[in-house]
Amino acid sequence: MAEVKSEPDIVKQEINENEIISEKIEVNIKQSTFQKQYSLIREMRENPDGPGYNAPVDTMGCQENAAKVEGSTPEEIEQQQKIYRYQTLISLMLSSQTKDQVTAAAMAKLKQHGCTIDQILETSTDTLEKLIYPASFYKRKAVYILKATKMLKDIYNGDVPKDVKEIMKLPGVGPKMAYLTMSCGWKEVVGIGVDTHVHRISNRLEWVHTKVAEQTRIALQEFLPKDEWDRVNYLLVGFGQTVCSPIGPKCNRCSLSKVEKLCPYYENNVKEKKTKKKSVKKEKKLKEEEEEDIEDLVPEEKLPKRRRKKIDPGVKTPTKKRKSTSNVSDDDDDSDYSPVKKTRKSIS
Ligand code: SF4
């Protein structure tokens, strides 16, 4: 599960991020490796038998949460498109640090209540909080949604602006939401929407070496062909939700782990640990075998006590006399003990 940060943490993180983003990013990617990795991820995501098929984002992503555009006249269609864009934006605002399932449920409640700019402006903060609960930071998000909605009404003519910079002026809206609003809401891809999954996987596969999502976006845009900008978000978000999860990635199900040296993270973290475990086991086994060989050569009385039990494999090791709980009599138990007693005497 993604780590949920407190609000002061997020503010601090944003300040640090601005400093980090201004650092120079070097992009040095091996195209042949990248092509192999990318096509295997596509296969895992798009093949119905693949481990990355049918991820939560595929059915509960921002565009799935907005009402479909239906209308019989151009005016109606235009009005519906405005609502669609607005709902896409609200869905993205709710999705921050929140699971897709929770966002989808909150959007369903909002749409049932009425999720147009005018309807939300008539809604109190209290009611809005209740409608979007349990999305993380629902109180803060309710305030942001109301303020952003008012701005859309007053400044942007009741529509989501068709400009990333303008979208980012809305409270609570960062670059990821702005680029995704442009691609989902306006069907115009002007940048890559980089969320935690895209950022993490791009670094695990060493496509980029970056500290924050915004750096990753800039680096990815350097080498990814523009017609892949939209798809890379869908591919990696779903891949991160199903296979390459933040904690305990399911490498045994991932095609990249089957090809030698294709996933640096797997080679350096997962495979290395497995190999270490194996070699520790092997070493232990060899040591035991070695000790057994020595026992064959050394007289029993000279062996350390812990190794002496092997002197007579036919002899049972004595155990504490138990109270009989079965239908076997105590005499029978004694008879089992007798050869052991004799052997113990003869050893001492
Ligand atoms: S870390 Fe594991 S799951 Fe992620 S891409 Fe590498 S092999 Fe696949």
| C-alpha of residue 39 to centroid of ligand 1, in Å | 14
- Rounded average pLDDT over 27-34: 85
Q: Answer with the residue of higher pLDDT: 159 or 15.
A: 159
Using CA atoms, how far apart are residues 243 and 204, in angstroms rounded to an integer?
13
Task: Return the ∠ at Cα 301 (arms to 300 and 304), rounded to 5°.
Answer: 85
For residue 247, give every residue at least 6 positions away whose Cβ sits within 8 Å of its Cβ, in sequence order, or none: 1
Question: Is the CA virtual torsion 111, 116, 119, 125 positive or negative?
Answer: positive
- Rounded average pLDDT over 81-104: 95
Q: Of the given ranges (86-95, 113-122, 264-273, 329-338), which has the lowest mean pLDDT? A: 329-338
| pLDDT over 50 at 307, yes or no | yes
For residue 183, give every residue at least 6 positions away whose Cβ sits within 8 Å of its Cβ, in sequence order, or none: 189, 190, 193, 229, 230, 233
Confidence (pTM): 0.74
Q: Where are the domains of the chain?
A: 7-256, 266-318+331-347
Using CA atoms, how far apart are residues 245 and 197, in angstroms rounded to an integer?
8
Any residues with Cβ below 6 Å from ligand 1, and which?
204, 243-244, 249-251, 254, 256-257, 263, 265-266
Using CA atoms, how far apart are residues 153 and 82, in angstroms rounded to an integer?
12
| C-alpha of residue 263 to centroid of ligand 1, in Å | 6
Four-way CATH pick for 7-256: 1.10.340.30, 3.40.640.10, 3.40.190.10, 3.40.50.300: 1.10.340.30
Which residue from 222, 255, 276 is spatially nearest to 31, judged by alpha carbons?
222
